[in-house]
Amino acid sequence: MKKPMTYIDSVHRDGTIWNLSVMVLLFAFPVAIAMLFGVTPDWNALLVGLVATAPMYWTVGIIETVTYVPMLGAGGSYLSFVTGNISNLKMPCALNALEQNEVSASSEEGEVISTIAIAVSSIVTTLIILLGVILIVPLTPVLSAPVLQPAFEQMLPALFGGLGVAFVSKNWKIAVAPIILMLALFVCVPALNEGTVGIMVPVSALFTIAVARILYKKGVL
């Protein structure tokens, strides 16, 4: 008798299908453009570019998978990797939803809640982008006003600051080490900026896990 499919099995099945479908669509666009205009890329230049950049993205991809899946759950991770903006949008939404419901992402309830939170976040983001495209012309003079620029620059710090206070207050002993590490890195290495968030978030997460394990072994936690 065939074993009935569980919720997690269906998540992995659907997640795999959608991720592979998106991969095909991403590759289909440049192929369609090449066929439409009758052009082909410079394969030597493409190979040189891939050799220089691909290893970094492979490494980041592996690190992000190992880091985000335990935090977001399987369903939330599949959906996040398809829709993007994980560190600055999907992850805060999912973690806040899990926190409010007092569940873990590894539980079945957490899987459902994380996936719903990320799905709602994706829908809201899409609607806001659509609204922005429609209103971008009439609102350009307002949005480009110099008086508003400082507010726009503080949006992400304000978001992560609020989340940071909530999580740091839960267990400040674990939070001290990664905060000091990130402050030291961003102060001492000027090249680090908002463009390196995709790399620094996994690095910080792995460092925090290592420090937490050391503190646990020493009986501090």
Side-chain half-sphere CA neighbours of 118 within 13 A: 31
Tell me the one-letter amino acid at 194: E
Q: Which pLDDT score is estimated for 24?
A: 92
Provide the mean pLDDT of the chain: 82
Q: Which pLDDT score is estimated for 155?
A: 76
Strands, E, within 141-213: which ranges? none
Q: Can you tell me the distance from the alpha carbon of 72 to that of 91, in angstroms, rounded to the nearest whole number?
A: 7
* Size of the chain in residues: 221
- Which pLDDT band, with edges at 50, 70 and 90, does 166 fall under? low
Question: At residue 34, does pLDDT exceed 70?
Answer: yes
Q: Can you tell me the distance from the alpha carbon of 78 to that of 84, in angstroms, rounded to the nearest whole number?
A: 10
Residues 6+ apart with CB under 8 A from 198: 60, 64, 87
- Which pLDDT band, with edges at 50, 70 and 90, does 21 fall under? very high
In terms of pLDDT, which residue wins out, 61 or 181?
181
Q: How many CB atoms lie within 10 A of CB 33?
A: 10
The reported pTM is: 0.64
Q: Which pLDDT score is estimated for 28?
A: 92
In terms of pLDDT, which residue wins out, 52 or 150?
150
- Residue 105 in contact with residue 73, Cβ under 8 Å? yes
Question: At residue 197, does pLDDT exceed 70?
Answer: no
pLDDT tens column, 103-113: 887 788 888 89
Query: Which DSSP string corresponds to 179-200?
Result: HHHHHHHHHH-TT-SGGGHHHH
Question: At residue 132, does pLDDT exceed 80?
Answer: yes
Q: Per the structure block, which two tokens stand in for 199?
A: 């790399």
Query: Which DSSP string corresponds to 23-44?
Result: HHHHHHHHHHHHHHHT----HH
Question: At residue 196, does pLDDT exceed 70?
Answer: no
Residue 215 three-state SS: helix
- Which pLDDT band, with edges at 50, 70 and 90, does 84 fall under? confident
